Amino acid sequence: MLTLSRMKSLLYPILSRPTTPPLSFCFHFQEPIFVCRRYGVQTINPMNKVSSFSCSTVPNHNQIRVLHTDVSGSGSDSGEVHVIVGPMFAGKTTTLLKRIKSESSSGSFQANGVKSSLYLDETIKGLCFSGRVAEAVGILCRSGVQVEAETYSLLLQECIFRQAYKKGKRVHWQMIIVGFVPNEYLTIKLLILYAKAGDLDTAHIIFDKLQFKCLVSWNAMIAGYVQKGMEEVGVSLYHNMKQRGVLPDQYTFASVFRACASLAVLEQGKQAHALLIKSQISGNIVVNSALMDMYFKCSCPSDGYLVFSKSLERNVITWTALISGYGQNGRIEDVLESFHRMIDEGFRPNHITFLAVLSACSHGGLVDKGKEYFSLMMRDYGLRPRGKHYAAIVDLLGRAGRLQEAHEFVKNSRCGEHPVLWGALLGACKIHGDIEMVKLAARNFFDLEPENAGKYVVLSNAYASFGLWNNVAEVRRLMKDSGVKKEPGYSMIEVQRQTHFFYMEHNAHEQTDEIYKLVKNMAGVLKDAGDIPDLLS
């Protein structure tokens, strides 16, 4: 005997009154299904008490099992409902779509539209709740009808959460095709979807059409640009938001601090920090970690540590930000001391923590300690080293001049096909002048990822350092023939709250002539003082 709760889960659709022929819904599955027949009942409600029922099964897997039921109530109509046994929505719901399409063409869909729409909504929601978003989106797109705003919201939220951005875009396209006009809440959901997907052009179109730009919409745009690597645009949007009287929250500050860290604009980062304090917003782990990272990357390790020491909450993220920050500023002893303090306080390091420690050992020339920490990952914490961890060991050995040992380590590592390992070996060979090892590393480095523009530059510079100009010309020719273009390098400086960019082979700065004139005058002054500047470097 099945329980009442089981029956409720099977019979959640609510059928119509006796004046309307009951809908029969069939879900086709590879698994066997139940067919529920009802006798002499006006309506079937999942909350009605089920008095008795029996089940008969046929041996053929392709046939069905019939579930006979008696439900409390009275009436004379009869019908059938196909219900699901096992995991909810365990198969394809093609019959649902066929019924909607047939009723749409015959005109009966208008009469039963409310019921059909209800079933479609519940089906899509059930698939979302069970994690089957791809099937839910497929059903929606093939149905050709509108669903409730709540259903669209759930679909978009699941697509954002699972980073299924292409499926989220399909949901938006379906809205447009069926003529559904999203409300303000759904519009912001779409804005977040496109911003997280990196489609900032579409996100900006949606953003510009918002009648009321709330804080959530501003945060989505700022975070989208920062995530895309367009930090200066994100910071500009932040200032624009403040000018319009919208007060930032902790999510805004987290994005702004990340942008200031990438741009190394200390002054703007300090202003944002001051506003955070003035707003009396309690910083969380994400905000404090981003703030620490900003100070460390702007070469203010003392301020970074001050943020850490005043953090009320600490976890592996804040500890890793501290350790990485010390490593970026060359404070190797502080890296190792903080790492052991973290362990002593009961926090387990993760992959990023160990990568920061290994990098610090590499720059500090601590070969034995670096190898010890590498072994510690697997032995004590069960962390399987990744490509960057192996590359850190190669760099560690290479900087110490142990090129042959580094080469053997690359060949024997499980990440030997990872290009970053050969890149690290190539850099070490370039430092120590081993031309044969340079050629070997360069060949493997290039073959693994030839479409990477940065690799052409690394190879060209490596050959140039040994005077192999024929090889340099060959690399440049390959780069030109394949159509690979490298983004121009640039320098940046912040002066009086304004950031200035200077690009290679691109003199677009409005004060370029004045700058060159000043440099020329400075060179003349230095020459008169007896100092000969190296203008070629």
State how far the alpha carbon of 413 is from the alpha carbons of 368, 440, 442, 517, in Å: 18, 17, 18, 54
Domain final residue, candidates 287, 313, 339: 313
Strand partners, 52: 70
Mean pLDDT over 45-70 rounds to: 36
Number of domains making up the chain:
5
User: Are 341 and 417 found together in one domain?
Assistant: no
Mean pLDDT over 102-120 rounds to: 53
Residue 404 pLDDT exceeds 80: yes
Q: Is the pTM of this model over 0.85?
A: no
Residue 419 maps to a domain: yes
The helix/strand/coil state of 414 is: coil
Residue 332 maps to a domain: yes
Residue 191 maps to a domain: yes
User: Are 425 and 455 found together in one domain?
Assistant: yes
Which has the closest alpha carbon to 217: 229, 231, 206? 206
Which has the closest alpha carbon to 428: 464, 393, 468? 393
360-369 core/surface letters (b: 16 or more CB in 10 A; e: else): bbbbbebbeb
Residue 74 maps to a domain: no
User: Are 497 and 473 found together in one domain?
Assistant: no
- State pLDDT tens for residues 357-403: 999 999 888 999 999 999 999 899 999 988 889 889 988 988 888 88
Domain final residue, candidates 449, 470, 487: 487
Q: What is the rounded CA–CA span in Å between residue 251 and residue 284?
A: 10
Residue 131 maps to a domain: yes
User: Are 372 and 449 found together in one domain?
Assistant: no
pLDDT for 433 equals 67
User: Are 309 and 365 found together in one domain?
Assistant: no
Mean pLDDT over 64-91 rounds to: 35
User: Are 481 and 495 found together in one domain?
Assistant: no
Mean pLDDT over 171-181 rounds to: 93
Residue 430 pLDDT exceeds 80: no
Q: What is the rounded CA–CA span in Å between residue 533 and residue 391?
A: 37
pLDDT for 45 equals 37
User: Are 126 and 143 found together in one domain?
Assistant: yes
Q: What is the rounded CA–CA span in Å between residue 466 and residue 356?
A: 31
Q: What is the rounded CA–CA span in Å between residue 44 and residue 11?
A: 8
State how far the alpha carbon of 217 is from the alpha carbons of 124, 194, 288, 463, 526, in Å: 27, 12, 23, 50, 54
Residue 298 maps to a domain: yes
Confidence class for position 161, pLDDT limits 50, 70, 90: very high
The bridge status of strand 50-56 relative to strand 79-83 is: unpaired
Mean pLDDT, rounded, of the chain: 75
Domain final residue, candidates 487, 502, 518: 487
- State pLDDT tens for residues 191-230: 999 999 999 999 999 999 998 999 999 999 999 999 999 9
Highest mean pLDDT range out of 11-20, 29-38, 232-241, 410-419?
Answer: 232-241
Residue 87 maps to a domain: no
Q: What is the rounded CA–CA span in Å between residue 23 and residue 25?
A: 6
User: Are 177 and 251 found together in one domain?
Assistant: no
User: Are 200 and 275 found together in one domain?
Assistant: no
Mean pLDDT over 151-156 rounds to: 92
Gyration radius of the chain's alpha carbons: 32
User: Are 450 and 475 found together in one domain?
Assistant: yes
Residue 264 maps to a domain: yes
Structural domain containing residue 430: 410-487
Strand partners, 37: 68, 80
pLDDT for 107 equals 44
- State pLDDT tens for residues 435-471: 777 777 777 776 666 666 666 776 777 777 777 788 7
- What six digits make up the tokens of 391? 């590359």
User: Are 121 and 205 found together in one domain?
Assistant: yes
User: Are 321 and 379 found together in one domain?
Assistant: yes
Range in 92-96, 138-142, 274-278 with the lowest mean pLDDT:
92-96
pLDDT for 506 equals 63
Say if residues 213 and 244 touch (Cβ distance below 8 Å).
yes
